[in-house]
Amino acid sequence: MPSETIRKKLIEVALPLEAINEASSREKSIRHGHPSTLHLWWARRPLAACRAILFGQLVDDPSSVPEEFPTEAAQEKERQRLFRIIEELVKWENSNDEVVLRAARREIARSVARSRGEAPPKTNAEIDAYLAEKAPPVLDPFCGGGSIPLEAQRLGLRAYASDLNPVAVLITKALIEIPPKFAGLPPVNPEARAKFAKGAAWNGRGAQGLAEDVRYYGRWMRDEAEKRIGHLYPKAKLPDGQEAGSAGGATGREKEATVIAWLWARTVTSPNPAASGAHVPLASSFMLSTKANKKAWVAPVIDAGAPDGYRFEVKSGAIGKEAEAKAKAGTKAARGSFTCVLTGTRCPMATSMMKLTMAACAPGLWQSSHMDREVACISLPTRTTKILRNRPSQHGNLTRNAAVRLRAMPKGGFTDSKPLATISQIASLWR
Ligand SMILES: C[S@@+](CC[C@H](N)C(=O)[O-])C[C@H]1O[C@@H](n2cnc3c(N)ncnc32)[C@H](O)[C@@H]1O
């Protein structure tokens, strides 16, 4: 291998930061086709910035190529030419534009060849082969959502990645390792196969076949989830109060809407016998939005027709100081305790939480011999599901405590006596 001359790179001198920043910021609002729409990754870096930085790290700054750009004016002119390439390269809509990408790959190949004292490759195929073999490979040991290896691959470089977090590894594999394996292959989902059987031809390119399968099976999973648990997520009625599913009469406007966020609160059995065992929420706030002029909150409404004797109404608009303070407190009474939303009776937090723990552990009592194996318990009374796995030392104590307290409880008390279920039994419930 020829000895390589190290030259100053573009990133060490200047970059068109304004264009990179603008493209990076715009990327946040891309809702279609961005990896973030396939799977959320919390610290994902903008693809535009990764692309520009990789380019700037590999392409020589003209000041370090005096044999080609002897004067400052010539260097600046060349630098500006490279800037124009970056400005096009960072645009979201150019992410798969072969003309733009080829221009970038050509520049990278030129700099690599220069440092190796070799003639730069000329044709597109030569450039691709040259980069794949001779450009420095990119390794991102903390790849997260895979932005850097993805962009390295887009620029024709060999990309390697790792991460401590298996979810990050899976996302990155799905982004950069799996699609090339299916490059050029047709989709295999039943709908597509039926079309091919009737003589339809496949004209897709790259990973389009795989993408069609991902869309097909993604839809299938969504529909299955809807079928199996959709009833637990009813649609919201719009303020005009029409029944769910009814169309909006003359205007044709739907009177119901899909709920986009669910707030979750633990519930406990009300300690007041007058509530007849209703499950009441431990809510530390009823406020949904505390922004000035955009206040929104939920208000509990006592309603004998509702499953536990109460329901919530979403409110927004002006709210008085006293009412806001009340909404902000939810069902919290004082440090460590809550009140029953139906009767106002104190539910001391310690008791509530202890009961939750006991409820979660209680089923283990009836088959304690299973405690050294995987154990899953469903706590029906609290409507929470806890799966306790392979930590017998921790759960042993909890279960023993729960046993003592349970024996002291009146029959028909807080917990029920559902037998222990193994993880596979629980899993079969969801199959
Ligand atoms: C800021 S994120 C990387 C974001 C990534 N560049 C992207 O665009 O999505 C940092 C990553 O480092 C990973 N990480 C932290 N410590 C690590 C370690 N010791 N070994 C490997 N990965 C680690 C984290 O799991 C996280 O995914």
Q: How far apart are CA 134 and CA 140, in angstroms?
A: 18
Per-residue confidence in pLDDT tens, the chain, 431 aa: 556 778 999 999 999 999 999 999 999 888 888 988 888 898 999 999 999 999 999 999 999 999 999 999 999 999 999 999 999 999 999 999 999 999 999 999 999 999 999 999 999 999 999 999 999 999 999 999 999 999 999 999 999 999 999 999 999 999 999 998 999 999 999 999 999 999 999 999 888 999 999 999 999 999 999 999 988 888 877 766 554 444 444 454 557 777 777 777 888 888 888 998 898 888 888 888 888 888 988 899 999 998 889 988 888 899 999 999 999 999 988 767 889 999 999 886 544 443 333 333 333 332 222 222 222 232 323 333 333 333 334 444 444 444 444 444 444 333 333 333 334 443 443 33
Q: Classify 32 in phi/psi space as left (phi over 0), alpha (psi -120 to 50) or beta.
A: beta
Segments making up each domain of the chain, as ranges: 10-162, 190-226, 266-344, 350-430
pLDDT single digits (tens) 42-66 = 899 999 999 999 999 999 999 999 9
Query: Is the CB of 308 within 6 Å of ligand 1?
Result: no
- SS3 letters for 356-396? HHHHHHHHHHHHHHHHHCCEEEEEHHHCEEEEECCCHHHHH
Atom of ligand 1 nearest to the CA of 50: 8
- The residue whose CA has the least distance to atom 23 of ligand 1 is 164
What's the pLDDT at 405? 45
Mutate to test the pocket of ligand 1, among 28, 50, 148, 163 (most ligand atoms within 8 A of CB): 163
Ligand 1: centre distance to CA 41 (Å):
10
Task: Verify whether ligand 1 is closer than 6 Å to residue 164 (CB atom).
Answer: yes
Distance 147 CA to ligand 1 centre (A): 11
Tell me how far CA of residue 219 lies from CA of 129, 189, 215, 302, in angstroms: 38, 12, 6, 39
Residue 42 near ligand 1, beta carbon < 6 Å: no
Ligand 1 mean position, distance from CA 143 (Å): 5
In this structure, which residue's CA is closest to atom 19 in ligand 1?
A: 164
CA distance 184 to 199: 18
CB 41 near ligand 1, within 6 Å:
yes
CA 27 to centroid of ligand 1, rounded, Å: 21
Whole-number Å distance between alpha carbons of 396 and 29: 49
From 38, 40, 143, mutation site for ligand 1 pocket: most ligand atoms within 8 A of C-beta: 143
Cβ of 51 closer than 6 Å to ligand 1, yes or no, is no
Specify the residue for token string 């939480």: 353
What is the C-alpha to C-alpha distance for residues 151 and 138, in angstroms, rounded to an integer? 10
Task: Tell how far the Cα of 297 is from the centroid of ligand 1, in angstroms.
Answer: 37
User: CA separation (Å) from 381 to 279, 282, 310?
Assistant: 8, 14, 17
CA 127 to chain centre: 36
pTM, full prediction: 0.65
- pLDDT for residue 243: 47
Q: How far is CA 52 from CA 6, 85, 270, 367, in A?
A: 20, 10, 59, 61
Nearest alpha carbon, ligand 1 atom 17: 164
Using DSSP's 3-state secondary structure scheme, residue 334 falls into strand
Whether 44 lines ligand 1, by a CB cut-off of 6 Å, is yes
Q: Measure 37 CA to ligand 1 centroid, in angstroms.
A: 19
Distance 163 CA to ligand 1 centre (A): 6
Closest by CA position to 379, among listed 394, 404, 398: 398
pLDDT for residue 128: 96
CB of 89 closer than 6 angstroms to any ligand 1 atom = no
pLDDT at 234: 81
Residue whose Cα lies nearest atom 3 of ligand 1: it is 144
Half-sphere exposure of 268 (CA within 13 A, CB side): 26
